[in-house]
Amino acid sequence: MRQSLWSRIRCQCGTSLLETMFVVAIGATVGAVGVAQTNNVRRSMQGDGAMRLVMGQLARAQQLAIQQRRNIEVQFVGGSWMKVVRHELNGSLTTLTSVSLESGMQFQLVNNVPDTPDAFGNGGPIVFEGVINGPVGGMVFQSDGELLDGATFLPINGSIFMGYPGQPATARAVTVLGTTGRVRGWKSNGSLAWYQL
């Protein structure tokens, strides 16, 4: 009995169980590598976002100090909160913004990552003029845009470090030059180098 052409083609096109398992194993391996890379990229993007949030808050505080001709204080609260506070003429304080770093980012030093090229200090996650967590008098932008020690009213330079615990490639830093209020963002490659963003 003769088989039709269609039945012969259909029989010859099948794949064995071994071939199918091989293709599935390759697909699973490629998928696992893709997921791992996606997680690294996502963490890096979240680090960039946290750094830009801090830079934006500092720039906003400086701009408000110039526009409103008031002292605008920057406060770092807990491990991930940042506040911008206006000093009123009557001596009271008004909170203008209160933001948190997202996705578990924290103000912290990441192990084995050195100070930024600005070299304002890395003795703690927030260091201004060598004082961890900033001067007792606070960090205040005044109406000419300078960042000052709130007690001595002298310009202060400082660094703010952030990252995910135990993940050096997520290390980010923001530096502030007190005399001009210039803000810079820095990204670590996870070891000994910083790149300005």
Cβ atoms < 10 Å from Cβ of 109: 19
Model pLDDT, residue 21? 80
Per-residue pLDDT for 11 more than 60? Answer: no
Query: Residue 122's closest CA among 152, 157, 146?
Result: 157
The percent of residues in the chain predicted with pLDDT above 70, rounded, is 89
pLDDT digits 0-9 by tens, 19-78? 778 788 787 777 776 666 667 777 788 889 999 999 999 999 999 999 999 999 999 998
Residues 72/85, Cβ–Cβ less than 8 Å:
yes
Longest dimension (CA), the chain: 106
Model pLDDT, residue 76? 93
Residues 88/70, Cβ–Cβ less than 8 Å:
yes
pLDDT band of residue 175 (cuts 50, 70, 90) is: very high
Query: Residue 51's closest CA among 189, 192, 184?
Result: 184
CATH topology of domain 48-196: minor pseudopilin epsh fold (3.55.40)
